[in-house]
Amino acid sequence: MIKHLTKHGNSLALVIDRGVLELLGINANTPLSLTTDGKCLVVAPVRDAKRRELFRRTLEAVNRRHHRALKRLAD
């Protein structure tokens, strides 16, 4: 997808299509993180600590339950 910046007052804005917003679970109130490696701009939703902790616990549970199968797949 190729996008162009839009003039917004004295700034430029990037308009993100509704489908992309829905896919990422972003709305007008979602805080966004902007990072760069000097060549690329990465815009990502900021996820709260509770969500990260839930993901970490879930990942640990999956690893405990399926560690043998995951090990065989890795080998």
What is the predicted pLDDT for the residue at 50?
A: 83
DSSP for 30-72? --EEEEE-SS-EEEEEPPPHHHHHHHHHHHHHHHHHHHHHHHH
Average pLDDT, integer, range 68-73: 92
Q: Per-residue pLDDT tens for 38-51?
A: 999 999 888 778 87
10 CB contacts (<8 Å, ≥6 apart)?
Answer: none
**Which carries the bigger pLDDT value, residue 5 or residue 52?**
5
Closest alpha carbon to 14 in 29, 25, 32: 32
Q: Where are the domains of the chain?
A: 6-74
